[in-house]
Amino acid sequence: MEEEGFILHEGKKYARVSKIIQHLSDFSRIDPEVLKRKQEIGTELHDGVFDFLNDEMPIMAERALKYFESFTKWFKAINPKVLETEKRYFNQEKMITCRMDGIFLIPFENLPVIVDYKTALMESPTWIYQAHLYHYIITSQGVQLGDRVLYLKLDSKGGIPKTITYQIEKPFLSHCISLVDQFWTNKKLD
């Protein structure tokens, strides 16, 4: 049985990036039912986008449909080349894992970028941490990426999403890695 926030892979326990940074978010003021519903919408959306990107018929509940329309508007306007979607990566050195939404080559750019889809009403302070750690994990596996991560804050009414760009910066990445080290130190003390 897997512990929440961890993935067993080849007999080893890896922490999800979300587990590492969860202490940076405070959801205590949000109704648990609202959080659960948003998680379900996010799952339906990601499944639908995965199907769309793999030339399959997306099937999703009405509540996720407008977010999906928002994504397809961006996709059709930008016309990126899909390199990977919904792939899990593992970093053995730090024992962390991530499942990225997509890696795309944007037209007129030399290197691909990570693209993450969000259904949140507003930008979260954890997204920059997530971006840096995803970039770290994926590039540690030899994948060549540009030095930025794109977040698509999808529109609940089906409009064009807001694109939020995080530039990968070494000092901030070092801070993120120190959070990973601190997480595992604290886990050993438990």
3-class secondary structure, 32: helix
CATH number, residue 177: 3.90.320
Q: Is residue 160 part of a domain?
A: yes
Would you say 144 and 135 are in contact if contact means Cβ atoms under 8 Å apart? no
The alpha carbon of 25 is separated from its chain's Cα centroid by a whole number of angstroms, namely: 15
Would you say 97 and 7 are in contact if contact means Cβ atoms under 8 Å apart? yes
For the chain, the domain total comes to 1
Q: Is residue 82 part of a domain?
A: yes
Both tokens of residue 132? Answer: 């840096």
Q: Is residue 60 part of a domain?
A: yes
The predicted-structure confidence for 116-139, as pLDDT tens digits, reads as follows 999 998 899 999 999 999 999 999
Q: Is residue 127 part of a domain?
A: yes
| pTM (predicted TM-score) | 0.94
Q: Is residue 182 part of a domain?
A: yes
Q: Is residue 1 part of a domain?
A: no
Query: Containing domain of residue 179, as a range?
Result: 6-189
Report how far apart, in Å, the C-alpha atoms of 21 and of each of 81, 97, 123, 184, 187 are: 30, 12, 15, 12, 14
The predicted-structure confidence for 82-119, as pLDDT tens digits, reads as follows 999 999 999 999 999 999 999 999 999 999 999 999 99
For 120, the enclosing helix (H) or strand (E) is none
